[in-house]
Amino acid sequence: MNYTKEQILERCNQFSKNTLMETLKIEYIDAGEDFLTAKMPVNPSVHQPMGLLHGGASVALAESVGSAASFFFIDPKEQEVRGIEISANHLKSIREGWVFGTARIIHKGRSIHLWEIKITDEEGNLISLCKLTNMVLDRKKTE
């Protein structure tokens, strides 16, 4: 990664404007050599009918943070990232507060990035464990 922590966070939060990430109020809050962390509020806007965090909202957080993290390992002028598979195990429920998604690189190949994303609550309890596979594509040349 050739970016500072501040540059990474600013860029991630900037490209979240007018997207699902903004709708879910996902905010990128920490970054390092092999990880990226974002937080998301847990409130009725991300609940399922039983008043708990919806698994789909957890997966949206996981894919958002894992895909954003891959962006910093590519040349964005020449390449782009596409999520091709995500899996999630929901281990604990939460009704309110914040969840934090931290993506850590497992495999960084030329064409495939594999991420483990742990979603935790404010006390560090594991809420969901996700795995995301991203494909790195060459950008189509426009003439």
Verify whether residue 63 is a known catalytic residue: yes
- Spatial distance between the Cα atoms of 1 and 109, rounded to a whole number of angstroms: 14
* Residue closest to 102 by CA, chosen among 116, 81, 86, 85: 116
Q: Distance (Å, rounded) from C-alpha 43 to C-alpha 69?
A: 26
61, 41 in Cβ contact below 8 A?
no
Catalytic residue among 33, 63, 78, 116: 63
DSSP label at residue 116: E
Sequence length of the chain is 143
* Residue 109 and residue 138 in contact, taking contact as beta carbons nearer than 8 Å: no
Task: Please give the Cα distance from 74 to 66 (Å, whole number).
Answer: 13
| Catalytic annotation, residues | 63
